[in-house]
């Protein structure tokens, strides 16, 4: 995979030395903004797909090294044995807590249509060999920029904190593989188990310049289910001689819609979507099987397990009703995807207070939960380590207010039109993240 990635001009920013009285956070973040803007645009022009973050990770590592961090590259092992492009940057500053701050690094196969002058024109081949356009349509370029700004503030403010900062550049978030790959490569054994985890995600649901935060579930768990309906194939003119899996699958798709609406507690958010259905080769042939791909989103493991059981029972029950032979019962398999992104309530309150002090109460909103998913929760080891992910506002204020009025949503992340208002989002992100980290490292 070959992409253009020109090295950035050296960031020429003067910041107060640690020995001097540290300047006001708002002022130093403002000083950083021109260089961070260049960084953001450069990253935006040079997106790389999940698992291919070679240039991006090298750039991030290089910048963190310049700031005085001890940097390790190629941290992470995928399940298939491939090496990941994870970055781990450590800054030790005496005894104290260990705070992990995570950014993701990967982009998406999206053809950018924002029309901005720093838009991506990158094209590459994906893992299947298909030519695709690539875009930072999820704003991971913004997350990296905020991480670099935060890294610089923390390095310049060593007199204000004690402990260890561990900055993570995570690959392959979009395919929910990167966090697991880094843990599988003994992340915590090698770099220490953190006491706190912080991360942000940009969104057009919040105005740029603000953040939004809450305790409890922020994003749903994602579970992938595959259901194969098996039948007995034959000539399309003689259905009585076989067992038609197409009709069986069609009924399954409809009955599956009643699982969430009729069998799950309405107080418990859940989504079950049949996203793919494949079967058959020719109009007059009854196939032997139909395969379906489903995604399941919930905020609770109990609800998730219950729905998986409902899917199994529904598939089997319908097959029995259709008279499918015992040895051709449906096959239901599942792949664990992302866990729930659960914000530790006490930690969320603590970092919210720090953000309010730094940004002002009017720029710290109450977060809304979504049914989308993230793999950042994997770093918390099932919630054993307190972690918080907050929303970083990306929306233009006028467009946001217009959309509130009309009810027409703004382009969300993953849209070819997603264009965060970086001039507001970058300083808000760096200010919030630095203030939160400083508070945890007091
Ligand atoms: Zn995404
Ligand atoms: Zn994302």
Q: Which fold has domain 25-219+341-440?
A: Aminopeptidase (3.40.630)
Exactly one of 53, 104, 112, 365 is catalytic; name it.
104
Exactly one of 53, 174, 289, 439 is catalytic; name it.
174
pLDDT on residue 14: 47
CB atoms within 10 A of CB 277: 17
Return the ligand number nearest the Cα of 141: 2
Is 349 annotated as catalytic?
A: no
Of 438, 349, 440, the residue nearest 159 (C-alpha): 438
Cα–ligand 1 centroid distance for 136 (angstroms): 9
Report pLDDT digits (tens) over 70-101: 999 999 999 999 999 999 999 999 999 999 99
Is 265 annotated as catalytic?
A: no
Cα–ligand 1 centroid distance for 330 (angstroms): 32
Contacts of 182 (CB under 8 A, 6+ apart): 75, 76, 84, 86, 88, 168, 170
pLDDT on residue 337: 85
Cα–ligand 1 centroid distance for 412 (angstroms): 10
Return the ligand number nearest the Cα of 201: 2
CA 167, CA 151: separation in Å to the nearest integer? 8
Return the ligand number nearest the Cα of 109: 1
pLDDT on residue 13: 47
Structure tokens at 141: 């370029």
Integer angstrom CA distances of residue 436 from 25, 97, 179, 329:
12, 13, 22, 53
Q: Which fold has domain 221-336?
A: Alpha-Beta Plaits (3.30.70)
Cα–ligand 1 centroid distance for 171 (angstroms): 12
pLDDT on residue 4: 54
Map out the domains of the chain as residue ranges: 25-219+341-440, 221-336
User: Which residues in the chain land under pLDDT 70?
Assistant: 1-22
Cα–ligand 1 centroid distance for 51 (angstroms): 14
Contacts of 162 (CB under 8 A, 6+ apart): 93, 94, 95, 96, 441, 442
Cα–ligand 1 centroid distance for 252 (angstroms): 30
Cα–ligand 1 centroid distance for 372 (angstroms): 9
């Amino acid at each position: 995979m070959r992409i253009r990635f020109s090295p950035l001009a050296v960031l020429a920013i003067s910041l107060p030395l640690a020995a001097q009285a540290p300047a006001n956070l708002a002022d130093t973040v403002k000083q950083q903004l021109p260089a961070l803007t260049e960084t953001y645009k450069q990253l935006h022009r040079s997106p790389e797909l999940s698992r291919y973050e070679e240039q991006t990770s090298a750039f991030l590592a290089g910048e963190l090294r310049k700031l005085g961090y001890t940097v390790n590259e190629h941290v992470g092992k995928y399940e298939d044995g491939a090496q990941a492009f994870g970055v781990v940057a450590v800054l030790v500053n005496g005894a104290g807590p260990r705070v992990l701050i995570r950014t993701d690094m990967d982009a998406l196969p999206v053809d950018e249509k924002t029309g901005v002058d720093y838009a991506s024109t990158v094209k590459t081949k994906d893992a299947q060999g298909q030519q695709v356009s690539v875009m930072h349509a999820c704003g991971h370029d913004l997350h990296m920029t905020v991480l670099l700004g935060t890294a610089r503030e923390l390095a310049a403010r060593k007199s204000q904190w004690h402990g260890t900062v561990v900055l993570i550049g995570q690959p392959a978030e979009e395919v929910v593989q990167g966090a697991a790959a880094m843990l599988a490569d003994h992340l915590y054994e090698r770099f220490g188990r953190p006491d706190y985890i912080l991360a942000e995600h940009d969104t057009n649901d919040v105005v740029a310049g603000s953040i939004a935060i809450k305790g409890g579930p922020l994003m749903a768990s994602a579970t992938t289910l595959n259901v194969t309906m098996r039948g007995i194939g034959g000539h399309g003119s003689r259905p009585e001689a076989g067992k038609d899996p197409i009709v069986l699958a069609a009924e399954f798709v409809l009955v599956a819609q009643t699982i969430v609406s009729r069998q799950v507690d309405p107080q418990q958010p859940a989504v079950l979507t049949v996203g793919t259905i494949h079967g058959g080769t020719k109009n007059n042939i009854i196939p032997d099987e139909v395969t379906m791909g489903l995604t399941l989103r919930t905020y609770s493991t109990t609800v998730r397990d219950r729905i998986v059981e409902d899917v199994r029972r529904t598939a089997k029950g319908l097959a029995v009703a259709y008279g499918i032979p015992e040895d051709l019962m449906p096959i239901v398999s599942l792949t664990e995807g992302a866990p729930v992104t659960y914000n530790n309530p006490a930690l969320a309150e603590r970092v919210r207070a720090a953000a309010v002090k730094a940004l002002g109460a009017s720029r710290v909103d109450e977060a809304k939960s979504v049914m989308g998913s993230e793999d950042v929760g994997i770093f918390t080891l099932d919630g054993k380590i307190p972690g918080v992910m907050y929303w970083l506002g990306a929306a233009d204020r006028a467009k946001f207010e217009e959309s509130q009025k009309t009810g027409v949503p703004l382009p969300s992340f993953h849209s070819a039109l997603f264009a965060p208002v970086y001039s507001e989002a970058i300083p808000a992100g760096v200010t919030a993240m630095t203030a939160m980290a400083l508070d945890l490292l007091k």
